[in-house]
Amino acid sequence: MAAVATQPVSIPEAGLSGLDSISFCQASLDEKLKKICDDFLTSQDPKLFNARIDDELNTTKAATALSQPDDGALKAAAQQLINEILTFGETSYDDILGVKDSSSPEEVLRSWRRRGCTIRPYLSHGEATLQQSARKAFIALMRAARKKNVSQRDISEVVEWEGLVDLNALPDNDGTPPTEASVEEPPQEIANIYEKATADMVALKLNLQDEEVLKRLNTHNLAIMEQNKKMGKLRRDLYRWIIPLEFFCPQYMEAAKRYKSLDDNPADKVAADDIDKLKQVVDTKITMHHFKQSWSIPSAGAYISSSIEIKRIMSCTNAHGRLNVSSEADDATKTFAFRNIISTMHPVFAFRHDASEALNELCAAATEVGIDEDEVSFGREWDGGSWEDARPGEDVVPEPPSAIKTLYSEATESMINLSKDPGDGAVISVVEEINEKIKNLELSNDASRSSPRWIINVGWWCQTFSDIAKQEAILKNDIEDQGAREKVKSLMENTDTYLKRSHLPSGWSYGSAEKFLQNIQGELDNHKKILDGVVLDMESIFNDITTLLQSLAGQSSNVSQMSDAIDLVRSKSLMVDELKKKLEDTNDRFRNSRSANEVMEAVQASQNALNMAKQANQQCNVARDLLASLPDSSQKSASNVVNYPWATMGLPDGKVVIGYRTSGKGYQVCVEDKVNGRFVRELRAGASIGRGIADEYCKTPGSCNMQESSAQFDKVDLKARDLVKLHFVATQQPKVRNADRRDIAPGSYCCVELGDKRIYMLTMTRFRRMMGRDKADEEMVKVCNEQNTPVPWEQQPLATYIKSTATKNTQNKQQIVAGVAGISHDTTNLESRISILEDKLNNFEAGLASLVESTIKQAMSTLQDTIAAELAKALQAHSHQ
């Protein structure tokens, strides 16, 4: 038969192989037979052995072969086989079974059946010595079969063999094992066994290790197997409809662990989700196999509700308190409260050890307050069925006269308000006043009746509204809570039944449970839509502030208040960006949430964040006003444009080469690019744009050699007054830098317009000499800030190293470096010395690759010569041997 255990979604079943109900039944039979054999070997009492085999194994119904123990041929064959088996050692399993180590499982099974059925009749027939040796041989056969992986089911089949059929003649796939998709409904005899097993299944939930409960359940399974025998079922079909403990026990165990987690933390979402998945698996199994619904487990919400109810009952000291009704409540209110509590905490579904004690207290309280004894008895034995279907019909309420119906209509608005707040005393007073009018009308029409029939049962309605509100609160925390959904459905069905029976207005009804659930789902979906909208609004605000910041960055910072405006907008941009990221994370986290309350709280928090962002955006209006007061932005952008008096070269990506300088064996180029509407210039290695392109520009007539542009002023004493405008500073990103010398700036060029209205490229050193260091640095900082480019001495290197410059022999080292670099200290021109040193460094970088390559080639050549010489020596020495 196919495995009956079904794995729950994402929760593996516990490994409880010892609780396999089929194996337990078979092991039970096997152990009985083994114990009988062992006892016989000790007592040597064949009569007692035979009696126990007949009584305990119920195998006395034998066919002709078993009823003829004196058949000489059968007996001789059995005796010969027994003697053969007993000559082998206990662990000679292949010899005992008459197979080889290489035999197939089918061959082993057939040999077990053949040998087992040959010996089986003489366990209880024949001479005492024959029975004794037969039992020893049979036990050895069983042990060997188990070691050779014969299934317990096939072993048990031989143990129970009654001689009616040849087991090897039956097809191994006889019978049609039930599948998960099609399990026929069991006959009434099996259903009766299920009914008897229910109490034990409930007990099993609370203690999986209770051996007595397990024994009783397996006794029920043996009874099911006996019923299958009577119906002529064989082999696999023999186990149809058994109670699969190997399925239920792991589910109960996993559920118990997670219920414990809920006891410790009722808000544990992971445990709650796992429980609901387990319940779905268990309920599916129960439905497919026609088991009792009371064998299921409660949902997470139902478990929490039952726990609260049980604790409340046990903490109350009086009967009315346990029923949660007032001492003035009428019988209908008490009965309804009793049924409602029973359906919440009955031990059949509660999965709690204290549920039985709470049930006893509740039933005692029900009896004490005068609830009908039949009602109490039914509640005590309740199995989850419908109260309305099972209980006798209540007194029929006659249809009220039109005057009463008019009063009902007057009460409709109050009843609707009461459904929103069952504890509203003012509304209750209004309904009670209407009740007085109803009572007076009834008494005036029929003074003989002591109990008004059409009074509005305020207590019942308040209790019902409270119960629905309680389930609504659970569903707003988790729309998928199955326990609450089922409870809502039951409450609304009861309410509608009560309305019809009492001829009350249909407007007092909540409507269908489906509509009620749809409203909560709609509320959840609406909150999610609001959250999505807030995210979009936040994104829009962030984009507005970002655009403003970019516009401000394109303006000259020497405009009054511009620096403060940029700082303000930048701080607001950072704040809104942080709010936006948090809001996006929140939206992602709650996108699949099942809790309307949770998403509503997220909406409130997100709206607060949006208000903060709106306020930040409003505070940026100062910067917007300042920006609007400036000259036209197109003119402002034009101030960043330089009309070069020399040749330039456009590149395919839109950049422009505007100058060059020699660097080692190659070139450095000055490249102009447009970023956010403004031009940015920087120094790059010629290889970055392609050596061929760099060479082409350098050879272009009229191109700008920046070294020559600066060197023409070597003997000209430029003054600060000669400067008309500093257009830009072009800087290269240094490759490495000594971390102890942060004051060293990379080679940079300043594009200046002088008094002759011409434009030149000056080195930063020459520009500082012209302006004075402080004034030059001030001008460079201003221009770099306007153009959003790094100041040369703040340009970050690709890498850094640490080498202290504070040494005693600094002067000597400087002289050594100067000597190595070929720089004479007699040179008076500091810039020339720096240029020579830069050229030496660039030459070294350019020649480094070829130097490394030539060094490696030379080393390889030497190594090859050495290896060849050593090989020649070795060959010569070998030839002399």
Burial string for 571-591 (b: 16+ CB within 10 Å, else e) reads ebbeebeebbeebeebbeebe
Burial string for 828-858 (b: 16+ CB within 10 Å, else e) reads eeebebebbebbeebeeeeeeeeeeeeeeee
Tokens of 682: 């920087």
Task: Output the CATH code of domain 298-394.
Answer: 1.10.287
Residue given tokens 């080393």 in the structure block: 859
Banded model confidence at residue 222, pLDDT cuts 50, 70, 90: confident
CA distance 722 to 527: 68
Where are the chain's structural domains? 27-169, 188-295, 298-394, 397-511, 522-631, 645-801, 812-881
143: pLDDT strictly greater than 50: yes
Which one, of 481, 468, 615, 626, lies nearest residue 557 by Cα?
Answer: 626
- Are the C-beta atoms of 292 and 194 separated by less than 8 Å? yes
Question: What is the pLDDT averaged over residues 673-701?
Answer: 88
- Say which residue, 276 or 444, is predicted with more confidence: 276
Is the pTM higher than 0.75? no
What pLDDT is attached to residue 693? 92
- Say which residue, 347 or 117, is predicted with more confidence: 117
CA distance 277 to 191: 27
Tokens of 811: 């002067």
What pLDDT is attached to residue 388? 46
CA distance 550 to 566: 9
- Say which residue, 480 or 802, is predicted with more confidence: 480
Tokens of 348: 């059949």
CA distance 726 to 764: 12
CA distance 346 to 355: 7
- Are the C-beta atoms of 138 and 116 separated by less than 8 Å? yes
| Residue 61 burial (10 A CB sphere; 0-12, 13-18, 19+) | exposed
751: pLDDT strictly greater than 90: yes
Cα 17 versus chain centre, distance: 30
CA distance 735 to 841: 12
| C-alpha dist (Å) from residue 226 to 121, 167, 221, 223, 237 | 21, 19, 9, 5, 12
Q: What is the average pLDDT value for the chain, to the nearest integer? A: 78
CA distance 145 to 138: 10
Tokens of 326: 């007032």
Question: What is the pLDDT averaged over residues 56-72?
Answer: 44
The model's pLDDT over 119-138, given as tens digits with 9 standing for 90+, comes to 888 887 788 888 888 888 98
Banded model confidence at residue 636, pLDDT cuts 50, 70, 90: very low
The model's pLDDT over 722-748, given as tens digits with 9 standing for 90+, comes to 898 899 999 987 776 665 565 566 789
| C-alpha dist (Å) from residue 643 to 454, 706, 751 | 100, 16, 11
Question: What is the pLDDT averaged over residues 559-586?
Answer: 83
CA distance 150 to 13: 25
Q: Got the DSSP string for 692-734? A: HHHHHHHTSTTB-BHHHHHHTTTT----GGGEEEEEEEEEPPP
Taking CA 411 as the corner, what is the angle to CA 407 and CA 416, rounded to the nearest 5 degrees?
155
What pLDDT is attached to residue 445? 66
Q: Got the DSSP string for 305-339? A: HHHHHHHHHHH--SHHHHHT--TT--HHHHHHHHH
Cα 802 versus chain centre, distance: 49
Reduce the secondary structure of 794-805 to three states and give it as a string: HCCCCEEECCCC
The residues near 266 (Cβ < 8 Å, ≥ 6 apart) are: 304
Question: What is the pLDDT averaged over residues 691-707?
Answer: 92
The model's pLDDT over 151-197, given as tens digits with 9 standing for 90+, comes to 877 887 787 776 655 667 666 654 444 444 457 888 888 888 988 88
Banded model confidence at residue 326, pLDDT cuts 50, 70, 90: confident
